[in-house]
């Protein structure tokens, strides 16, 4: 199935090949495993920081990294055939929205201060 322009009688454009179709599957698997490993380490470090600081903004950053790690896991599950392409699409876009909301919440939380967090001018 190729791409066609509406109202133009030119031959259809070829669809770009998917990276996980054919020979690129092993490369994509390594990329996803590397991304998952690095994100898992960052997530673990963020949990330590969130525990030590005990502030909501650090917990929001940890939740954002957990969602980012979940994206890699969704990709790996799809690559192994354990998740359908439709479910993959749904989860990827859902996690994108979750990441965006959590990131905005963390930024908003870090720009607002409560009376307990205000420092005197010295």
Q: Where along the chain do its domains lie? A: 24-111
* pLDDT at residue 120 in the model: 53
Residue holding tokens 């950053």?
A: 61
Average pLDDT of the segment spanning 81-93: 89
What global pTM score does this model have? 0.69
Whether residue 92 contacts residue 71, with contact meaning beta carbons closer than 8 Å, is answered with yes
Contact 98, 67 (CB under 8 A): yes
Mean of the pLDDT values across residues 58-67? 93
Supply φ then ψ for residue 6, to 5 degrees: -70, 130
Give Cα separations from 37 to 3, 10, 33, 41, 72 (angstroms). 36, 46, 6, 6, 9
Share of the chain above pLDDT 90, in %: 39
């Amino acid at each position: 199935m190729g791409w066609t322009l509406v109202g133009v009688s030119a031959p259809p454009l070829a669809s770009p090949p998917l990276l996980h179709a054919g020979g690129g599957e092993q490369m994509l698997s390594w990329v996803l495993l590397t991304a998952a490993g690095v994100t898992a380490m960052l997530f673990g470090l963020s949990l330590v920081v969130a525990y030590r600081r005990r502030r909501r903004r650090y917990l929001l950053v940890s939740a954002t990294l957990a969602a980012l790690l979940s994206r890699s896991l969704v990709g790996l599950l799809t690559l192994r055939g354990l998740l359908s392409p439709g479910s993959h699409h749904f989860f990827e876009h859902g996690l994108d929205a979750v990441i965006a909301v959590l990131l905005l919440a963390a930024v908003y939380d870090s720009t607002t201060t409560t009376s307990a967090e205000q420092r005197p001018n010295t």
